[in-house]
Amino acid sequence: MADAVSPVGHTSVRVRYAETDQQGIAHHAHYFVWMELGRTALLRDLGFPYDRVEAEGLVFTVVEASCRFVGAARYDEEVEIETRVGAVRSRTAAFDTTLRVAGRPIARGSVTLAALDSRRRPGRVPTPLVAALRGAARS
Amino acid sequence: MADAVSPVGHTSVRVRYAETDQQGIAHHAHYFVWMELGRTALLRDLGFPYDRVEAEGLVFTVVEASCRFVGAARYDEEVEIETRVGAVRSRTAAFDTTLRVAGRPIARGSVTLAALDSRRRPGRVPTPLVAALRGAARS
Amino acid sequence: MADAVSPVGHTSVRVRYAETDQQGIAHHAHYFVWMELGRTALLRDLGFPYDRVEAEGLVFTVVEASCRFVGAARYDEEVEIETRVGAVRSRTAAFDTTLRVAGRPIARGSVTLAALDSRRRPGRVPTPLVAALRGAARS
Amino acid sequence: MADAVSPVGHTSVRVRYAETDQQGIAHHAHYFVWMELGRTALLRDLGFPYDRVEAEGLVFTVVEASCRFVGAARYDEEVEIETRVGAVRSRTAAFDTTLRVAGRPIARGSVTLAALDSRRRPGRVPTPLVAALRGAARS
């Protein structure tokens, strides 16, 4: 549908003191951890909590990650994490994340996960999860 | 010179136990911390230790970061960090990093820094540092 | 009052993937970060959000920290953080924290903070905060 | 021998930018990671690299950790880590660590590890390792 809003995962996190650096803002490496929290929340919302994925002998590994930082987050500020599904293939799935503080974007990132089996050899994203992710991406 | 090898910063780091995750490999967010260690070493080699940069009232903030993960690093493995200077402009400087374990690439990343003054307004990369970085990039 | 329950700060945190280590449990160093989240929540509940403390030119620095680990926390488990005020002096304040997963204690820790002025010289815990902390400890 | 110097593990680490917090010093939680680096180095020196311990189906888990912070470490400062063996029992081993910057102590900590088998049930520290640790503690 033309005007449909894509289903997205929403969660939020408060900046921890330990996440600040001597510039007085959250260190950029933590943004990748926060984006992971967004994926965790999205997968849970889709009915595929990630711990259950791993319990079935599959792991997702990050094969590509990028982020543009357009603002900063300070101690104790609440960072809103909005995650959308990007390209979904048989072996990989991409996720696009926007991070905001008080509604104002501070970063936009994209992370691609690849499925691996228990020996870290290329695996396949389970068919039901592919379907759920594509459904989320399409709508 | 056509066949010159670019001067690069070399350093290395051993994977800490705290940096592993339940997949038994270093978590991807730490790669961005390691790339920062590479930039720190390169700046020191060029004669511009970063603490002195900040002492002069300037900070560098990360405005863009990306990484392709092509391998994994395990606990206590030594990760070799090779950093090259990329595009250098009046307000930004880019750095390209290759991470290797036992000579085998595990990741290639790129990070762009922007200069900010003490109030976090856009600043300029100091001219001597621009010159040093461009010299390193050109050679 | 003999049977009064001490007012405590309550908050909780879900174990992040990045916080697990290759033993498949949260790495112990993160427990100290979680205890800090408990203090942050307690200070906010008492009306002294820590960012405002720092805005007044004072910082609290950790001078002593200890923790007994009696259980483990796994990825995505919710860790309940219960924080009580311990000994409060003119320059230091102690906090006792119990961490639980599903009601079962996984760790008990104690952290002592000291007040420092903006030059990191010994300072005094502001009198209203001493009163609030002692009130919380007594009750 | 009365005047013998205990064999100790020595290693060092430079404070990473990501380890600083908005007070401009290394956040206290990282000290526990640094103490772990000291234990890793000591075990390696004693001929029992920890990855080999785990390869034999045993893990060490931290059951108690404490630290007194008497100074601070700033970005890029080198922190010297000196680790001594404390009490060694059949199931646990304690390690005492002093952290210094430029020879000046910044923290003293103590960590007790317990041996667990692959199902995280109480195990025994391997006899040769007990002997090596006791030898190191005694001397």
Contact call for D18 and B40, based on CB within 8 A: no
What's the CA gap between B87 and B94, in Å, rounded?
5
Minimum CA–CA partner of B114 in chain A: A69
**Average pLDDT of the segment spanning D86-101:** 96
Question: pLDDT band at B139, cuts 50/70/90?
Answer: low
Calculate ∠ Cα B40-B42-B45, nearest 5°: 110
Residues of A in contact with C51 (CB under 8 A): 74-76
As a whole number of angstroms, the longest Cα–Cα distance in chain B is: 47
pLDDT in tens, B101-126: 999 999 999 999 999 998 899 999 99
**Average pLDDT of the segment spanning D73-86:** 97
- What is the Cβ-side half-sphere exposure of residue B113, based on CA atoms within 13 angstroms? 23
Count other C-beta atoms under 10 Å from residue A38's C-beta: 28
What residues of chain C score a pLDDT lower than 70? Answer: 1-7, 139
Name the minimum distance, in Å, from the CA of D17 to any CA of chain A. Answer: 7
Q: Which of C13, C27, C28 to mutate to test the interface with D (most CBs of D within 10 A)?
A: C28
What's the CA gap between A15 and D30, in Å, rounded?
17
pLDDT in tens, D25-71: 999 999 999 999 999 999 999 999 998 889 888 999 999 999 999 99
Minimum CA–CA partner of B41 in chain D: D76
pLDDT score of A7: 58
Express as a percent the part of chain A with pLDDT over 90. Answer: 83
Question: pLDDT band at D9, cuts 50/70/90?
Answer: confident
Q: In whole numbers, what is the pLDDT of chain A averaged over residues?
A: 92
Residue A5 confidence (pLDDT) above 50? no
Name the minimum distance, in Å, from the CA of D61 to any CA of chain C. Answer: 9
Put simply, whether the predicted model's pTM sits higher than 0.80 gets the answer yes
**Average pLDDT of the segment spanning B43-51:** 93
* Of the candidates C57, C44, C64, the residue with the CA atom closest to the CA atom of residue C116: C57
* Of the candidates B78, B130, B90, B86, the residue with the CA atom closest to the CA atom of residue B111: B86
What's the CA gap between C9 and C61, in Å, rounded?
20
pLDDT in tens, B63-91: 999 999 999 999 999 999 999 999 999 99
Give the tokens for residue C11.
């908050």
DSSP symbols for C15-81 = PPGGGB-TTSSB-THHHHHHHHHHHHHHHHHTT--HHHHHHTT-EEEEEEEEEEE-S---TTPEEEE
Q: In whole numbers, what is the pLDDT of chain B averaged over residues?
A: 92
Calculate ∠ Cα C120-C123-C128, nearest 5°: 135
What's the CA gap between D60 and C39, in Å, rounded?
29
In this structure, of A51-55, A121-125, B25-29, C15-19, the range with the lowest mean pLDDT score is A51-55
Residues of C in contact with A43 (CB under 8 A): none
């205990």: which residue's tokens? D6
Question: Per CB distance under 8 Å, which residues of C are interface residues toward D?
Answer: 22-23, 28-30, 32-33, 36, 54, 59, 61-70, 72, 120
